[in-house]
Amino acid sequence: MQTIKAAVCHAFGQPLVIEEVQLRAPHMGEVEVTLDAVAICHSDISFADGAWGGSLPAIYGHEAAGRVTALGAGVTGLQEGDPVIVTLIRACGACPSCGAGRPTGCETPYDGDHGPLSTKDGGTLHQAMACGAFAEKVVVDHSQVVKIPGDMAMDAASLLACGVITGVGAVINAAGLRAGQDVVVIGAGGVGLNAIQGARIAGARRIVAVDMSAEKLADAQSFGATDGVLASEPEPWEVAKQAMGRGADAVLVTVGAEKVYDQAALYLAGGGKVIMVGMPATGAQSTYEAGNFAATGQSMVGSKMGDVVIRRDIPWMIDLYQQGRLKLDELISKRWSLDQINAAIADTKSGRARRNVIMFK
């Protein structure tokens, strides 16, 4: 066991506590990564606020990048010193979902209460989302990491662990967007901006951003949105349709608000899809007029983590970034230390930030 510093959640809705915890060495098939950067995702905040329940105490954080510092038995393709991205996508490779090329839906359960972490006195400490990356180091399954170029900045790389692949992947993999189609992205936060980037890269004709904030709509246009609509309009779907000249082929909901899902289908053209990315709290419900979906051939599709295959999709996104076609550096609002994590979370909650990143070096 080694002692590391981490930000621990002891009570939902309360500030995280910076303290020393224990991290064991990697077992068979596992990798230890010493982190350089971890971004703060709204999912981390929702978990820490108790939106989806879970075990406590816990360490959240799942958008990370660093260098391999130890390897468990049986790990191939990686060496100590390799720079990597750490994701929450833990895939067994053998279940029906993994066998079908859908590792984001891996059916092999993982019990974070019995992972590599423990409290300083040896008590149970939950490794949330199979990562626990609000810490100096992590031990994760080898399936969760992807090697990256040695000269890539770690703060930019960390964004590819969740927010970027979720947004871009939802467009490319879940929506299957074709060049010339029209897209509405509801929510111009971190994931929404990446959905907008994905739509631009895929060759969308019109990309309409919908948000409560005029400032965020301006932000969205800098990432590729062709039009912006304030969600506070009496019927924002009609304004969006006027901008497109028709309904959308795909509507990507990137915010976890059930009311938004009530309205999402109103933006669609016949045959269009609502891509469900944002996750409302457990128990929240939305309502739809089912007959409209049947009559118009529309559909609703859930998309977890952009339906990515990380060793297929992350390398080509890195290549796009290196070409200047995918924005990563521009997504970073501010860099913070681990000791400042509660201030960084508060800033993220305020809605002002695209992505806040905790830096360890």
User: How do residues 317-359 score in pLDDT, each as one tens digit?
Assistant: 999 999 999 999 999 999 999 999 999 999 999 888 889 999 9
Q: How far is CA 237 from CA 128, 205, 245, 291, in A?
A: 37, 17, 12, 19
Class of domain 164-304: alpha beta
pLDDT of residue 361: 78
Contact, 237 vs 274, CB < 8 A? no
Residue ranges of the chain with per-residue pLDDT less than 50? none
Beta bridge partners of 139: 32
Residue range(s) occupied by CATH 3.40.50.720 in the chain: 164-304
Q: Specify the pTM.
A: 0.94
Q: How much is the pLDDT for 179? A: 97
Tell me the fold of 2-161+328-359. Quinone Oxidoreductase; Chain A, domain 1 (3.90.180)
The pLDDT of residue 157 is 98
User: In the chain, which residues fall in CATH 3.90.180.10?
Assistant: 2-161+328-359
Could you tell me how far CA 72 lies from the centroid of its own chain?
Answer: 27
Question: Residue 353 has what pLDDT?
Answer: 84
User: Residue 124 gets which letter from DSSP?
Assistant: B
* Phi, psi dihedrals of residue 31, rounded to the nearest 5°: -135, 135
Q: What is the pLDDT of residue 238?
A: 97
Measured distance CA(224)–CA(116) in Å, rounded: 41
pLDDT value at residue 256? 87
Per-residue pLDDT, 160? 97
Residue 282: per-residue pLDDT: 87
Q: What is the pLDDT of residue 292?
A: 84
Radius of gyration of the chain (CA): 20
User: Which SS3 state, helix, strand or coil, does residue 304 take?
Assistant: coil
